[in-house]
Structure 1
């Protein structure tokens, strides 16, 4: 079962239609600053051909209240670095 996470697309470090390219971008970014927050490579839950790289610390919690942030969308975690 895939792990579902939520992010604001504007917080993405990198975007790609190729999973391998997204992984390489995350590895390069992590090599520049290894002490930064861990990275998550996630697949857009609505567009299965789109991958994004996020800081794990930018993960949002899905809310059910009236102040929900409509810009937060679901992703499936594909890899953690």
Structure 2
């Protein structure tokens, strides 16, 4: 079952149309930057996959935040 969480779209690290490419880019970003956990999520319009820092997620919507379905965590 997918988890729905909320992010501010402006906080995304990248927006990519292909899921496999999003995973690959997220892995590269995490390895090169030694970053915190990342989330790959499908956006509100189901058009793109977005990569976010997991710590930026919130459970309840706020101003400017949109719902995303988590597809993977890195």
**Is the TM-score greater than 0.5?**
yes
Q: 5+ residue gaps in structure 2?
A: none
Corresponding position: 1:38 with 2:37: yes
How big is the shift at 1:20? 1.1
Match of 2:19 in 1: 19
Q: How many residues align?
A: 74
Match of 2:7 in 1: 7
Q: Aligned equivalents of 1:38 and 1:19: distance in 2?
A: 18
What is the SS of the residue equivalent to 1:48?
Answer: coil
Cα RMSD, aligned residues only:
1.3
Structure (1 or 2) with the larger CA radius of gyration: 1
Query: Runs of 4 or more off by more than 6 Å in structure 1?
Result: none
TM-score (structure 1 length as normaliser): 0.82
TM-score (structure 2 length as normaliser): 0.89
Match of 1:59 in 2: 57
How big is the shift at 1:33? 2.4
Q: Aligned equivalents of 1:33 and 1:25: distance in 2?
A: 12
Q: Pick from 59, 67, 73: which aligns with 1:74?
A: 67
How big is the shift at 1:47? 1.8
